[in-house]
Every structure is written in C-alpha cells, then in structure tokens.
Amino acid sequence: MTKRNKQSVKISLLVVAAVVLVITGHYHDISADNDETYKGLKVFSNVIEQIEKNYVDTVDTKELIQNAIQGMVHSLDPHSQYLTPEAFEELQSGTRGEFEGIGIVITMPKGVLTVVSPIEGTPAYSAGIQSGDIIVKVDGAFTGDMKIWEAVKKMRGLKGTKVVITVMRKGFTEPKDFELVRDIIPLESVKYITLQSGYGYVWITNFQDNTTADLKDALEALESETTPLKGLVLDLRNNPGGPLNQAIEVSDLFLEEGQILSIKGRLEKHTNIFNAHTNSTKREYPIIILINNGSASASEIVAGALQDHKRALIMGTTSFGKGSVQTVKPLGDGSGLKFTIARYYTPSGRSIQAKGIEPDIVVPYSLIDNDEKDDNKIFLKEKDLKNHLESESEKTNQKAKQEEDTEDEKEPVKKKSKYGSLELDNLMADSQVKRALDTLISYDIFKGIKN
C-alpha cells in the first residue's frame, strides 16, 4: 500500500471511529483492545476508501457515512433512527404545538411507509386517510427508496400548497391518489362534550406536554355540571401516543394506588416502575375506554393500566401494539439518535409488543342510520291511530316540542367544547360511542335494582 493510500485509510478510519464515539458516548469502548470492533471499523474504512477511489461517480463521503449509520440503527427495530440535522429539526417541530402539513402519524416497519393514524380535524383526516394505509408514493416519488424523515419532509409544506399521496389499502384493487391541501396542524390534545345528562365524553386525540392539564380541565367541567357525572367515555381511538410521562400522569388521574407501568431495559438506569398516587379529587364513576388499531404507545399504556386495575372497561378493536420506549439523544453536529431503550409492561406484567391491547368487549366501528334502526316504526300503537285521544302528557310534550323546534330553526344542534366543537349527532351515529353510552346507562340501571 502506498504512503498516500495508508494515509487515506487512516483518515477514513478516524472519521468512522469519531462518528461511532459520538453516537455511543463511550469513548473507552473503541480501541485496539476490542478486536471485533476494531476489525469491523477497519473493513468499513476499506469499503469507504474503495468507493471513494473507484465508484463510477463521485460520491459524498459524509452522505455515505450518514447512510451507513442510518442502516445500522434502523436494522435494530422500526422505531430506532439516526436523525440527520434536517430530520432532527423535523422531529422537534412536531412538539412545538403546531406545524404545517397534512396531519398524519407514520411509521416504517420493514421499510413500508405506513399510517399509524390521521390526526383528527386535519386534511388527511378529512380526506379519509385511515390507520394502516400504506403510502406508496408522495408526489409521484416511490417511498420505498425514502427514509422516514425524507417522507415527512416531502409531505410537510406551506399552508395552502398541495401534495398528492398514493395509498394502498386493504380492499383496494390498485393504489389510489389523494390530493391534499396542506394546512396548519394544531396539536390540540383534548376535546369533551356531554353525551347525555350525567354522561361525559372526552377525546384525547394525541399526547402532548399539556395533555394532563387539559384533561383535568375537561373533567372538572363535566364534573361540575348540574347532574353528577355517572359515567365517562374516554376515546383513545387513532391516538398515536406521545410522551411517556403524560401517559403515566393521565392514568394516575383515575387510579389511587398500585402500579401504572414498568419499563425494563438492558441497563439498570432504563428500568423503572411507575406507581399511582392518591388524588385530591376522587373519580369513582365508571369509565369505558374506546380503542382501535390506531391507538398506539401512550394510549395503550393508559388503556392497559386502567384495564388491569379493573378501573375501566375497554371497548372497540385491538390496538396497534407498540410496547417499547424510545429516547432521543442530540449529537454534536445537530443530528440526533432515536433508539429503543426498554420494553414496557402493564401492571399485571403483560407485554403488548406486537400484540396490542385486546378489548374486553369487541365492537367494530360503523355508522348508525337512526331512521333504519328504529324498529318501533313497524308496530302500530294507540298514538299512531288517526284522531286518537291525546293524553295530558302528550299535550305538554307537544307544546315543548313546538318551542324546541323554534329554537332549532334559529341554530343547528351542535354543542361546543373548550377545544373546538364536537357534533353530538355525529357521536351518536358512531356505533362504538353509542355502545359505550348504552353500557354505562345499563350499568347505572342495574346498580339501582334491588335483589
């Protein structure tokens, strides 16, 4: 080997070693004493040298090394990533309260760009993008050749601009194009409404740093109404998750004691147990949690904790099944490393990794057509006969109905929530919400029956 080549190998080896040192943070691990590591780095250096010297086109050595690191980290599991400075910036922007884009949470298991869930109220949600959709192309570019941050960057953009995503879905005979107009994506976390006197509904759309505080406000509003709260529907459907501490704090609002979650990693510092604390406000009303295959990560932690403590009935369909914990470490050049440090376990010791939370009662989603479901319409009753005698209550009800109809003409039936508006009619046409409400009402009725 010539003196020049020896120098090139030495420089390449130092560059690669420096990258590995920054990532691991263990400077003493990379040394000549560690034969396997040293030999591997030497081979890696030789490969870079050969490509630099002999590849048909000029290559960017920095990009080569970044791609190599990305491949190494991504081979560990779908949630571990090396984040270039651009990707790291994209990740951070998603926690600042809002961003401009189409409003979906994505993952890339086995290199396939997959929708975890659309964010409620966003262009993707309104266009009908669903959990489990596979994004084949973004503006005509195949996603199979992209890293996840590249796909995110292509889908984000200025409000009012358009992007076309090509989606394959179970039941499609071929991929379908969705043209979406980008918008400001607010990361509002909590919405609530009263479904019926004494029965509340809270939708946690995603977990953010302020989720627990917003949920407290929502619960206090529902609990302070004239009729005491008899039951709560907590909707975690299509909730992709978020910060671990928020999942623990939300669970803690409904638990007085016992374990919420345990995480177990290879290192002792990544192993921990999180317990519930006594709350100043006692919440003893029954709870039904709604989940589906778009409920992931933090939402599965909440559902699993309350299910194991028999504090809530879980209804819907099996959740996504992400039972691992990630951390993000910034690196010196503006890049970052996101990697899995532990698995988590529900209070009973269950790992839901790749299994998901199974509901206590399976209820598939569908829209209810109230007109078609009204079985009473096929039976004639006294009140259906022409010119029947009116009861006293009918007269009173008829007068009240006329006044109500007058009010309806003034303003459509829509109830407001603190974080926007939820339409009660739409919720009542949701089979899972309706089943949850009926179950809570039935429980209250049975509770009052004397033996």
Q: Are residues 248 and 258 in the same domain?
A: yes
Confidence of residue 12 (pLDDT cuts 50, 70, 90): very low
Cβ neighbours for 287, distance < 8 A, ≥ 6 positions apart: 231, 232, 233, 234, 254, 306, 311, 312, 313
pLDDT at 449 over 70: yes
Mean pLDDT of 196-209: 93
Catalytic site residue from 117, 251, 295, 297: 297
pLDDT of res. 375: 41
pLDDT in tens, 285-303: 999 999 998 899 999 999 9
Q: Please identify, among 186, 201, 226, the residue that sits at the C-terminal boundary of a domain.
A: 186
Q: Please identify, among 169, 186, 203, the residue that sits at the C-terminal boundary of a domain.
A: 186
**Residue 297 a catalytic site member:** yes
Q: Are residues 262 and 285 in the same domain?
A: yes
Confidence of residue 379 (pLDDT cuts 50, 70, 90): very low
**Residue 322 a catalytic site member:** yes
Q: Are residues 181 and 192 in the same domain?
A: no
**Residue 425 a catalytic site member:** no
Whole-model pTM? 0.74
In a domain, 385, yes or no: no
Provide the percentage of residues in the chain whose pLDDT is more than 90: 57
> Cα–Cα distance between 355 and 320 in angstroms, integer?
8
pLDDT in tens, 390-407: 665 555 656 555 554 544
User: What CATH number does the domain containing 226 carry?
Assistant: 3.90.226.10
Both tokens of residue 401?
A: 């109905």
Q: Are residues 102 and 170 in the same domain?
A: yes
Task: Indicate the pairing of strand 324-330 with strand 336-345.
Answer: antiparallel
pLDDT in tens, 23-45: 333 434 444 457 888 889 999 99
pLDDT of res. 395: 57
Q: Are residues 170 and 199 in the same domain?
A: no
Q: Please identify, among 186, 205, 224, the residue that sits at the C-terminal boundary of a domain.
A: 186
> Cα–Cα distance between 74 and 62 in angstroms, integer?
18
Count how many domains the chain has: 3
Q: Are residues 31 and 160 in the same domain?
A: no
Catalytic site residue from 322, 324, 335, 430: 322
Q: Which stretch, 12-26, 143-157, 229-243, has highest mean pLDDT?
A: 229-243
Confidence of residue 203 (pLDDT cuts 50, 70, 90): very high
pLDDT of res. 388: 55
pLDDT of res. 25: 37
User: What is the span of the domain harbouring residue 141?
Assistant: 85-96+98-186
Rg from Cα positions in the chain: 28
Q: Which residue has the tokens 């980290």?
A: 73
Q: Are residues 181 and 259 in the same domain?
A: no
Q: Which stretch, 3-12, 30-39, 206-215, has highest mean pLDDT?
A: 206-215
Catalytic site residue from 214, 308, 335, 434: 308
Q: Are residues 223 and 278 in the same domain?
A: yes
pLDDT of res. 8: 44
49: left (phi over 0), alpha (psi -120 to 50) or beta: alpha
